């Protein structure tokens, strides 16, 4: 059975009865890069008569189609039907190039955590924009890690589990020191503020200190413990 709407070269033709003005309005809206108000449409078609009625007619024509004509804040545009919007979603991953300030901030948090914003600025020697931390929080590499017990109780920041996963590091103590990074040729140690990396052995020293503290606590507990009462020997 032949399709009555098909003309030569299999081109589908629209039903008759569509006025020239209606076709013009439809074409203008379809090709527009942004929603158009009625005044703009009237200037394009060089007519101010029946434009509103034509817009309502086109809207009614497309109401059950894959695209709809919608009016938002007195501006008209074609949009994907709301129930089909999920089909139009596109997941696209983009690589973000971190600024020098963001990289330095991350390095300070990594090697000095938990650390406050003011401590980060003190180490860097300059203040930084709020969005620097926001970027790291958005990437889920940094998290709030409680508040420091000082006046004002500022928020402290530390790295997340996602940070370890992203950089394929099992634990913080596996992170390279500044000397190891320099030896591997990954950074120019002569052109970097070494205070960013602290002592360069931060986690190893921290681990040693924790062990020393445990032994000190044990020694202290032994010293404070009361001497065991000697049981009198019984005469045999």
Q: For 151-196, how does the pLDDT look when each residue is reduced to its tens digit (9 = 90+)?
A: 889 999 999 888 888 887 777 777 776 666 666 555 555 555 555 5
Helix (H, G, I), strand (E, B) or coil at 149: coil
Spatial contact of 129 and 101, defined as CB atoms under 8 Å apart? yes
Q: What is the pTM of this model?
A: 0.43
Winning range, highest mean pLDDT, from 17-26, 150-159, 161-170, 202-211: 150-159
State the CB neighbour count (10 A cutoff) for residue 115. 22
pLDDT band at 68 (very low <50, low <70, confident <90, very high): very high
Domains defined for the chain, CATH in brackets: 16-82 (1.10.10.10), 100-216 (1.10.10.10)
Spatial contact of 168 and 145, defined as CB atoms under 8 Å apart? no
pLDDT over 70, % of the chain: 64
What is the predicted pLDDT for the residue at 192?
53
pLDDT above 50 (res 202): no
pLDDT above 70 (res 33): yes
Among 116, 108, 110, 106, smallest CA distance to 149 is for 116
Angle at 132 between CA 131 and CA 134, to 5 degrees: 55
* Range scoring the smallest mean pLDDT among 43-57, 71-85, 116-130: 116-130
């Amino acid at each position: 059975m032949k399709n009555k709407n098909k003309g030569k070269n299999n081109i589908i033709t629209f039903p008759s009865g569509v006025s020239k003005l209606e076709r013009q309005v439809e074409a203008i809206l379809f090709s527009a890069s942004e929603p158009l108000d009625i005044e703009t449409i009237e200037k394009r078609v060089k007519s101010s008569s029946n434009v509103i009625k034509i817009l309502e007619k086109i809207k009614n024509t497309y109401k059950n189609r894959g695209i709809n004509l919608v009016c938002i804040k007195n501006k008209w545009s074609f949009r994907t039907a709301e129930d089909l919007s999920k089909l139009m979603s596109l997941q696209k991953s983009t690589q973000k190039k971190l600024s020098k300030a963001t990289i330095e901030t991350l390095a300070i948090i990594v090697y000095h955590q938990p650390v406050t914003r003011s401590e980060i600025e003190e180490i860097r020697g300059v203040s930084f924009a709020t969005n620097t931390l926001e970027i790291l929080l958005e990437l889920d590499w940094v998290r709030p890690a409680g508040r420091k017990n000082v006046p004002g109780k500022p928020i402290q920041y530390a790295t997340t589990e996602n940070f370890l996963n992203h950089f394929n590091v099992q634990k913080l103590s596996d992170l390279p020191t500044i000397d190891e990074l320099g030896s591997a040729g990954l950074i120019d140690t002569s052109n970097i503020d070494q205070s960013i990396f602290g002592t360069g052995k931060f986690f190893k020293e921290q681990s040693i200190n924790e062990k020393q503290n445990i032994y000190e606590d044990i020694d202290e507990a032994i010293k404070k413990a009361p001497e065991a009462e000697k049981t009198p020997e019984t005469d045999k």
